[in-house]
A = this chain, B = another copy of it.
Amino acid sequence: MSSLIILGIDPGLAHTGWGVIEQVGARRHALAYGCVATSSREETACRLKRIHDEISEVIKRYHPTELGIEAVYFGSNAKSALATGEARGAALVAAAYQQIEVGEYSPTQIKQTIVGTGTATKEQIQYMVKAMLGLDHVPTPDHAADALAAAICRAQLRGSFCDCLSER
């Protein structure tokens, strides 16, 4: 039975969570997850390079063919949206280089897909991620759990495809 490897990313300049899941038939399990932490004492370009490098390394190690990434909640202010955008830019360039299909999902879509309601709490999401991936513990930090949730969301809702990447 063929398997599908999916990367999930929860982007942020200070913390970018990532998680890799494998789907074989109807079963899904986690292969790895983690978080890139950067400090505001570092230059922005350096922080972005580390996010880009770490995500590139994860992609080279696990060879995901698809990516689920959280779309940004526009209720946030412009300053935090800019920082999240920078982290997304660094991570998405890494994905584009490896010809990975990208799906963007709103926080509500992810909650709906994982828990069944768009108003689910963070704890409900974490509990369901643990259960759906057969993990012994709730994955930590939060950013990694959110990244795994984005990967599961991608697994359930996959379909979109980036045409320019298929030409390479």
Instruction: Find A89's partner among B78, B90, B95 (CB 8 Å cutoff).
Output: B90
Tell me the complex Cα distance, A84–B79, Å. Answer: 11
When the two chains form their complex, are residues B48 and A92 in contact, meaning their CB atoms are under 8 A apart? yes
Question: Which range holds the interface residue count of chain A?
Answer: 35 or more
- Residues of the B chain whose Cβ atoms lie less than 8 Å from the Cβ of A92: 44-45, 48-49, 86, 90
- The stretch of A21-29, A96-104, A147-155 in contact with B is A96-104
Residue of B nearest to A87 (CB): B89
Tell me the complex Cα distance, A159–B144, Å. Answer: 37
* Residues A79 and B74 in contact in the complex (CB < 8 Å), given A96-B49, A104-B44, A164-B42: yes
Other A-B pairs beyond A48-B89, A48-B92, A49-B93, 14, CB < 8 Å: A43-B102, A45-B95, A45-B96, A46-B96, A46-B164, A48-B96, A49-B96, A74-B77, A76-B78, A77-B78, A81-B85, A82-B84, A82-B88, A89-B93
Q: Residues of A with Cβ closer than 8 Å to B?
A: 42-46, 48-49, 52, 72, 74-90, 92-93, 95-97, 100, 102, 104, 162-165
The 7 closest A-B pairs by CB, nearest first: A85-B85, A89-B89, A49-B96, A86-B89, A43-B162, A78-B81, A46-B164
